[in-house]
Structure 1
């Protein structure tokens, strides 16, 4: 217990310090993008990765709190995926390449021996989809980090309930590192996680959800993992349906995500981050309660219904051909990311 608290504090402070240092480095190197007329540093992801890997790994190196076989299989593939994201932040990397690397990492992480070949392949596909969905949440300041924090805390509780102490520690450290990053990444952000942070956080969270629920009943497991990742899923569905209806390329960047539409409704940047974070917390809480057995798996239907309703309402908000409040319509980004 005391080690967990100390590790979380260390990860928070280390991530905050690294984010400040890497912001200065990114501005000097020109590793930036333009958001709402401001140049924002792109190297927030490495701060989260280094803080998480160092603090979580220190428990194993010192034999104070080894991660164990389940959690021990996550950091290395996660860092490889994060490294790919860092490359993608600095130069174009096609989506098929990113998806292939994430798929390979997921295949090395998913416990096929417990899930079996068919369910294991489905789990790999789900990890890839959730990882890419979390990456796309970095479309506005503070959104990906906030959603990832509440998801990591909820999954940490689920892992602790399953007596998976190493995995619970890793997820707590990740949540703390993301919180430290948000000290600089809260709107108006001075540094953003980029694809590096989104891929790393999304991969670790999705893989951890699979590890926590491996070998458990299908109904509660599916309901819990859906509720835990409902916001990222809803954002991806919203974007894909919107672009399909508008006849736009599915992989082209556009201001059509959750927060973009909330901004069109007049919600402030800070208010939108809080609203999305609260929504993510509600879904994560339901997922944790299902996992703990305090509510039935059917509770996930309420989350699904809420997510579907949110998507239907936001689809009616104009997203194309209009500029966001306080944001120029032309020249909004130094680079357009394929979401």
Structure 2
């Protein structure tokens, strides 16, 4: 089975690399580009559609390797593909937020009905809580796609450590999926590394967030509540802390939490003096630390409480160090805020 994982991972990387360039040319031909202007950091129109390369690199090798034998993995792949299509439509013709949330909720329910439920209360509420968590995390990862290389780096590290965790727990099919996801992201990352020649768009960021959220939920099924909470929080640490920090900051300054802005952790790191590549690397390192805490917990080296406390300290230190960074400095805004301004024109 280790050979299957290696073959799926290698095929994922090759497929992602092979499809990225043609998709970039297609995006330029169809004018699916993010244009420079205002506070945008890139100097030329940058095409979307990179998310299609990531999705294809993940779904195709995983399906070939596993077939449709595992109901839960099949449900995740089908639902994640639907979310990717949703993101692609949103990239081409922006959709209302209510439409996006409705579709995400419906496909998340489909995954839960396949048997994927995070064990929090041990009652029927776990299904509803899993749906809410998957939808929230899907959009949190979408918001994390706000700087060249940031989301690709975070996802590559997260998926790799989740794959290791899946192997330790004996979830071979999930390990195949996560290994393919890791290498599909790595295959695309050179195109998205600063200065980016291609963006993944909502098709990629929603696909990544949904797949990672569902995978984390699979790994905590049947676990105790403390292990479940730690197993959900630690792999999604960066997206969770970033979203919480942004929402808290905007609520304290009477700004809409749903409005785009440049107050994400990546923007604050940029204003603190780090270059764009250094920001992506920093986010990757922090993600590696919290992912390693999750793996250590699964191996029995740390208790869930200790692992979460350590991650909590990291979150407090990170947010505190960056609290003084002005949110009004002219740095690269999030992709989401860029698209909001485009929709209003």
Q: Return the TM-score normalized by structure 2.
A: 0.90
2:286 is aligned with 1:285: no
2:45 is aligned with 1:39: yes
CA deviation vs aligned residue, 1:199-229 (integer Å, no higher than 9, x gap):
1111011011111111111111211221111
Please give the secondary structure, in 1, of the residue aligned with 2:304: coil
Match of 1:6 in 2: 7
Q: 1:96 aligns with which of 98, 103, 126?
A: 98
Match of 1:52 in 2: 58
8 A Cα contact 2:116 2:218, kept in partner: no
8 A Cα contact 1:133 1:232, kept in partner: yes
8 A Cα contact 2:116 2:214, kept in partner: no
Segment drifting more, 88-97 vs 18-27: 88-97
8 A Cα contact 1:16 1:183, kept in partner: no
Cα distance, 1:333 vs structure 2: 4.4
8 A Cα contact 1:151 1:280, kept in partner: yes
Q: What CA distance in whole angstroms lies between the structure 1 residues aligned with 2:295 and 2:281?
A: 20
8 A Cα contact 2:51 2:200, kept in partner: yes
8 A Cα contact 1:223 1:297, kept in partner: yes
8 A Cα contact 1:153 1:171, kept in partner: yes
Cα distance, 1:67 vs structure 2: 5.6
Q: What CA distance in whole angstroms lies between the structure 2 residues aligned with 1:278 and 1:291?
A: 20
Q: What CA distance in whole angstroms lies between the structure 2 residues aligned with 1:169 and 1:200?
A: 17
2:338 is aligned with 1:336: no
Match of 2:327 in 1: 319
Q: 2:239 aligns with which of 226, 232, 235?
A: 232
Q: 2:138 aligns with which of 122, 125, 131?
A: 131
Q: What CA distance in whole angstroms lies between the structure 2 residues aligned with 1:119 and 1:68?
A: 21
CA deviation vs aligned residue, 1:207-256 (integer Å, no higher than 9, x gap):
11111111111111211221111100111012111222222222111111
Structure 1: gaps of 5 or more residues: none
Q: What CA distance in whole angstroms lies between the structure 1 residues aligned with 2:116 and 2:140?
A: 23
8 A Cα contact 1:150 1:175, kept in partner: yes
Gap change, CA 1:114 and 1:45, over 3 Å in 2: closer
Cα distance, 1:156 vs structure 2: 1.0
Match of 1:27 in 2: 28
Q: What CA distance in whole angstroms lies between the structure 2 residues aligned with 1:162 and 1:274?
A: 29
8 A Cα contact 1:135 1:199, kept in partner: yes
Segment drifting more, 107-116 vs 273-282: 107-116
Q: What CA distance in whole angstroms lies between the structure 2 residues aligned with 1:221 and 1:91?
A: 38
Q: What CA distance in whole angstroms lies between the structure 2 residues aligned with 1:59 and 1:179?
A: 19
Cα distance, 1:307 vs structure 2: 1.0
Cα distance, 1:312 vs structure 2: 3.1
Q: 2:268 aligns with which of 240, 261, 268?
A: 261
Gap change, CA 1:120 and 1:292, over 3 Å in 2: farther
8 A Cα contact 1:230 1:304, kept in partner: no
8 A Cα contact 1:235 1:258, kept in partner: yes
Match of 1:216 in 2: 223
Q: What CA distance in whole angstroms lies between the structure 1 residues aligned with 2:275 and 2:118?
A: 46
Please give the secondary structure, in 1, of the residue aligned with 2:234: helix
CA deviation vs aligned residue, 1:69-115 (integer Å, no higher than 9, x gap):
33222100000011111111122212222122111111111226885
Q: What CA distance in whole angstroms lies between the structure 1 residues aligned with 2:330 and 2:54?
A: 32
Structure 2: gaps of 5 or more residues: none
